[in-house]
Amino acid sequence: MIPRENKKAQKKEIEARFGLRLAPDVLAALGKTGIYCNADISIVHQQMARRYVLRGEESGGAVSTLGAYTSFVNEDGKPLSWLQPVETVGPNGRHAIVIAPAFVRLQMVRVEHTYDLLITRHRLLPAPGRTKPTIDSTTVFKARQGTLALDLWDKDAASRGGICPVFYSFAGDALAIPTGFEEAMLVLTAAVCCVGCRHVHLLQPPPVPVTRESDQAPELTGVAG
């Protein structure tokens, strides 16, 4: 028989790797309302760069009574650039793809005014005797049943992006969002209240290269003969 402590540790490891464990009725409601929120992370190989990287998807959206969203930031909580945006026929689906050697996954689920949050860090680690690395996943922050009384999807939509739920410990102590991730939490809260979402909330467009005058080809001048 596996000791109870080991079972708890295994559950935490699985959740850190694959995301929030949702109740069957929540999963059924997400499917019924057409909200697609993919928390999966995979290892992909870049042939030209000859390296392995992590791949994730920003996805999700909301209806009035329910919302779910997953996205990614860097290890300091700052925005990452997407590899490409994704446009789909229906709302509340995939929005963008991100590729990085390491990142932090942000996952939030909302039922009415109640919010669950999971923040996990993911890195690649060498695997002894193998070329392909493994994913090291650790939980940065987890909180259940946070509360926010505003209807951000309706009459209080003007407050979206400026407020996030309050989370408490089992003993009633307020839980602070990890330093550096406060701004991302404001955006994530807005995302799980974005009814019929069709746009990216957290990932950013890649920076546009700046062309210097010295890089431009010189103009050819002369007199035609």
pLDDT of residue 1: 54
Residue 124 CA to residue 51 CA, distance in Å, equals 11
pTM over 0.85: yes
Residue boundaries of the structural domains of the chain: 4-203
Contact call for residues 106 and 126 (beta carbons, < 8 A) = no
Q: Which two tokens stand for residue 179?
A: 């330093």
Q: Give residue 7's pLDDT.
A: 80
Per-residue pLDDT at 206 = 94
- Residue 135 CB-half CA count within 13 A: 24
Q: Under the phi-then-psi rule, with left for phi > 0, alpha for psi from -120 to 50, and beta for the rest, what region is 87?
A: beta
Tell me the average confidence (pLDDT) per consecutive run of 10 residues in the chain, 225 residues long.
73 94 96 97 95 98 98 97 96 98 98 98 94 96 97 97 96 96 98 98 90 60 48
* Whole-number pLDDT of residue 225: 42
The pLDDT score that the predictor gives to residue 209 is 76
Question: For 131-142, b where at least 16 C-beta lie within 10 A, e where not — what string?
Answer: eebebebeebbb
For 200-220, b/e burial (b = at least 16 CB within 10 A) is bbbbeeeeeeeeeeeeeeeee
The pLDDT, as a whole number, for residue 146 is 97
Burial of 31 (0-12, 13-18, 19+ CB in 10 A): exposed
